Amino acid sequence: MVVVHRARFVLSPGAAAVTDGAVAVAGGRILSVGSADEVLASVGPGAVVHEWDGALTPGLVNAHTHLQYSDMAAVGLAAHAGFEAWMSAFMELYPVPRDWGASAAAGAALALRSGTTTVAEIVTDAAAGSAVHDAGLHGIAFWEVLGWTERAWDERGERTVRAQLAALPATPAIGLSPHAIYSLDTAVIRDLARLSAELGVRQHIHAAESAWEDAYVRSGTGDLAERWRANGRGEFALLRDGGVGTGVIRYLDDLGALNPSTHLAHGIYVDAADRALLRARGVSVALCPRSNAVIGLDAPPVAAYLREGNAIAVGTDSLSSSPSLSPWHDVAALHDIARAQGYAADDLHARLFAAATIGGAHALGMDADTGALRPGARADLAVFPVSASTARDALAELVEAGPDEASLTVVGGRERWTRTPGHDRSSAGV
Ligand SMILES: [Zn+2]
Distance 151 CA to ligand 1 centre (A): 26
Distance 33 CA to ligand 1 centre (A): 35
Domain with 380 in it: what CATH number?
Answer: 2.30.40.10
Domain with 170 in it: what CATH number?
Answer: 3.20.20.140
Please report the pLDDT score of residue 421 as a whole number: 53
Distance 46 CA to ligand 1 centre (A): 46
Distance 143 CA to ligand 1 centre (A): 12
Whole-angstrom Cα distance, residue 371 to residue 326?
16
Contact status, residue 344 vs residue 316, Cβ threshold 8 Å = no
Domain end residue (candidates: 338, 363, 388): 363
At residue 226, the 3 state secondary structure works out as helix
Cα–Cα distances (Å) from 16 to 2, 11, 40, 195, 392, in that order, read 24, 7, 19, 42, 10
Exposed, middle or buried: residue 348 (CB in 10 Å: 0-12, 13-18, 19+)? buried
Domain end residue (candidates: 346, 363, 380): 363
In the chain, the N- to C-terminal Cα span, in Å, equals: 13
Whole-angstrom Cα distance, residue 335 to residue 348?
7
Q: Which domain holds residue 321?
A: 60-363
Residue-wise pLDDT for 189-207, tens only, equals 999 999 999 999 999 999 9
Distance 318 CA to ligand 1 centre (A): 7
On whether both 30 and 40 belong to a single domain, the answer is yes
On whether both 218 and 300 belong to a single domain, the answer is yes
Positive or negative CA dihedral for 391, 396, 401, 402? positive
**266-275 burial, b if ≥16 CB within 10 A, otherwise e?**
bbbbbeeebb
pLDDT truncated to tens, each residue of the chain (430 aa)?
A: 999 999 999 999 999 999 999 999 999 999 999 999 999 999 988 999 999 999 999 999 999 999 999 888 888 888 888 888 888 888 888 878 889 999 999 999 999 999 999 999 999 999 999 999 999 999 999 999 999 999 999 999 999 999 999 999 887 899 999 999 999 999 999 999 999 999 999 999 999 999 999 999 999 999 889 989 998 889 999 999 999 999 999 999 999 999 999 999 999 999 999 999 999 999 999 999 999 999 999 999 999 999 999 999 999 999 988 999 999 999 999 999 999 999 999 999 999 999 999 999 999 999 999 999 999 999 999 999 999 999 999 999 999 999 999 999 999 999 999 987 544 444 433 3
On whether both 53 and 73 belong to a single domain, the answer is no
On whether both 246 and 177 belong to a single domain, the answer is yes
Please report the pLDDT score of residue 422 as a whole number: 45
Distance 363 CA to ligand 1 centre (A): 15
Contact status, residue 208 vs residue 267, Cβ threshold 8 Å = yes
Distance 67 CA to ligand 1 centre (A): 10
On whether both 213 and 126 belong to a single domain, the answer is yes
Positive or negative CA dihedral for 148, 153, 155, 161? positive
